[in-house]
Structure 1
Amino acid sequence: MERLTRATLIGATIASGAVALLGLAWMLGLWPNPYAEPVTALLAGLAGTEVATTVHVVTALAGVAAGIAGLAGALGARGRVCAGVLQLIVFGALLQGTGPLSTMGYLVALLMPVAVVVMLVQLVRRYRVARWALGVPGLVALVVGVVLGRDALAGLATGILNGFLSQGVTVLITLLILTLGTLWAAVGVQALSGLSAMDRATAWVVRHRRAITIVAATGPLPYALARLTWLTPWPQLGSDIDMSTRIWGLTLSSGAWLGFFLTLGLIRTWGEVFPRWMPGLAGRRVPITAAAVPGGLIAVTLIFSAIPMLLMARGHSVGDQIVSAIAFPCWYWGPALTLAVWGYVAHRLQSERAAALDADEPARDQLPAR
């Protein structure tokens, strides 16, 4: 555990250094400053570009200093918690816009076609009943869809490629900020581990983790259902939709459905043991980090996006604000997913400790009596 804590602190320090260098480049005019657009961050809209950039650099440098002090043993648990809270407040609220949610959603959506093909192929290979019920019909439907919609798919691919060529740097910057937030959140959690209050909180989360996880799983459902309406004559959250956009809406919806099922995996058996259709992994134990790291990253993304998504509807009617809060429920989805991942990790660690004790029991029974 001590090695893991040190590795997390090293990662947080490096991420803070990279973010600080990025801010200095903006400050010196070496790179286009995203804070020049007021909608980029809450503080940029309230106090201007220079203030937002200065706060960015100072906070990141404070993270570097805190990380170095922590690695040197000069910063106690309380100091590490305070450093983590500072990074999360500044980069997660004051210097945040709607970019993280869009970036993560689009990246997941881009992976969905590959994931669907792999899943269908594995259903054909591994499951006799599902082969003809889902696998073969699904693959046939994909081939027919690609043939019939090749022009729309070509237009969609061109648009996505052009978007990444123009916004690729912005995507990388967003991922860097999210990584920083995730690492500093982990530093704070590790600093609190072992405290009696933390143990009591963990026990409560584990006890209620099923209900918490189900609540978290409902987070992506409104968006998933809204994007599916793009396949109908009555599209929601959009208008004047052509065929390429309808296909993209289906892809975005599939990414949201993936989030729904993966969240439920935190309380299901296949969230602890890879299912049979997983190539090369079937039957193996799921590493805790395989669920905790992406789950934590998505949770940080949602929490960072909560305030910007609520503010996005400012100036609109009350009805539009309610629709926005329901369609993008980061305000409860992020905290609920955080607790769900917390409960999953604690449950898995408890299970591993219990299994280790059971394995040691025969060896202790064989010790000679004194």
Structure 2
Amino acid sequence: MTSSLSTVRDGRRPPRWAVLAAHAVPLVTLPSGVWRLFLAAGADLGLRPRDPFGPGEIVYIVSLSLVSEGLALLTLGLVRPWGERVSRWVPVLGGRRVAPYAAIKPAAAGALALAAIWAYTFPTFLRSTGVTFTAPGWHALLVACYVPVLLWAPLLGAVTWAYWRRRCRD
């Protein structure tokens, strides 16, 4: 018996590696989001000097973390039935088939954008973040929280490719 989570509309399941990769995406974005949430909550995190954040900055930091994690969770749609057919509970669109390129184009653009952003930003980020830390361990923690996010682009790209193969090829 097949569970409804692994059944797809056309009878073709995503490859196991794609399912694992899709589930890894929210996990690789989580450490950086948690680091930002601690920062927004006022945790020291070894930053010096640091003035308290204003309400607008806190909203921005929390929103960035939530939006990043939400976008990462959308990767699951590339390996789940709701990535092929809109859930019935969704008003107006419920039950309709998702056109493959309506998922493929934004996912591929997202993977390319993430790769470009991190290719440009991360080398500088590793050397110096533009802030002073009270101890080297704090900078190491920051880097350790952000290094996993480098996997987001290649994982998303691979899962998008698997979705394209399953939905658009014979």
Q: Same fold (TM over 0.5)?
A: yes
Q: Which amino acid aligns with 1:223?
A: S
| Residue equivalent to 1:229 | 38
Report the CA distance between 1:285 and its aligned residue. Answer: 0.9
Instruction: Kindly report which structure 2 residues correspond to 1:1-370, keeping only aligned pairs within 5 A, or say none.
Output: 206-234=15-43, 239=50, 240-312=52-124, 313-315=126-128, 320=139, 323-324=142-143, 326-327=145-146, 329-349=148-168, 353=170
Moved over 6 A (4+): none
Asked if the contact 2:40–2:53 (Cα under 8 Å) also holds between the matched residues in 1, the reply is: no
Residue 283 of structure 1 aligns to a residue in which SS? Answer: coil
Q: CA-to-partner distance for each residue in 1:82-137, whole Å, 9 max, x for gaps?
A: xxxxxxxxxxxxxxxxxxxxxxxxxxxxxxxxxxxxxxxxxxxxxxxxxxxxxxxx
Report the CA distance between 1:321 and its aligned residue. Answer: 5.3
Asked if the contact 2:35–2:145 (Cα under 8 Å) also holds between the matched residues in 1, the reply is: no
Q: CA-to-partner distance for each residue in 1:39-98, whole Å, 9 max, x for gaps?
A: xxxxxxxxxxxxxxxxxxxxxxxxxxxxxxxxxxxxxxxxxxxxxxxxxxxxxxxxxxxx
| Residue equivalent to 1:152 | none
Q: Distance in 2 between matches of 1:272 and 1:214?
A: 17
Structure 1: stretches of 5+ with no match in the other structure: 1-204, 354-370
Asked if the contact 1:226–1:235 (Cα under 8 Å) also holds between the matched residues in 2, the reply is: no
Question: Normalized per residue, which structure has more helix?
Answer: 1
Residue 28 of structure 2 aligns to a residue in which SS? Answer: coil
Q: Distance in 1 between matches of 2:75 and 2:39?
A: 25
Larger Rg: 1
Asked if the contact 2:25–2:156 (Cα under 8 Å) also holds between the matched residues in 1, the reply is: yes
How many residues in Structure 1 have an aligned counterpart in Structure 2? 147
- Assess, with a 3 A threshold, how the Cα gap between structure 1 residues 330 and 230 changes in structure 2: closer, same or farther: closer
Structure 2: stretches of 5+ with no match in the other structure: 1-13, 130-135
Q: Distance in 2 between matches of 1:308 and 1:237?
A: 25
Asked if the contact 1:231–1:250 (Cα under 8 Å) also holds between the matched residues in 2, the reply is: yes
Report the CA distance between 1:210 and its aligned residue. Answer: 1.0
Q: CA-to-partner distance for each residue in 1:165-213, whole Å, 9 max, x for gaps?
A: xxxxxxxxxxxxxxxxxxxxxxxxxxxxxxxxxxxxxxxx945211122
Q: CA-to-partner distance for each residue in 1:7-60, whole Å, 9 max, x for gaps?
A: xxxxxxxxxxxxxxxxxxxxxxxxxxxxxxxxxxxxxxxxxxxxxxxxxxxxxx
Q: Which amino acid aligns with 1:346?
A: R
Asked if the contact 1:219–1:330 (Cα under 8 Å) also holds between the matched residues in 2, the reply is: yes
Report the CA distance between 1:340 and its aligned residue. Answer: 0.8
Q: Percent identity?
A: 26
Q: CA-to-partner distance for each residue in 1:240-295, whole Å, 9 max, x for gaps?
A: 21111111122112211211220112111111111234332111111111111111
Q: Which amino acid aligns with 1:348?
A: R
Asked if the contact 1:292–1:341 (Cα under 8 Å) also holds between the matched residues in 2, the reply is: yes
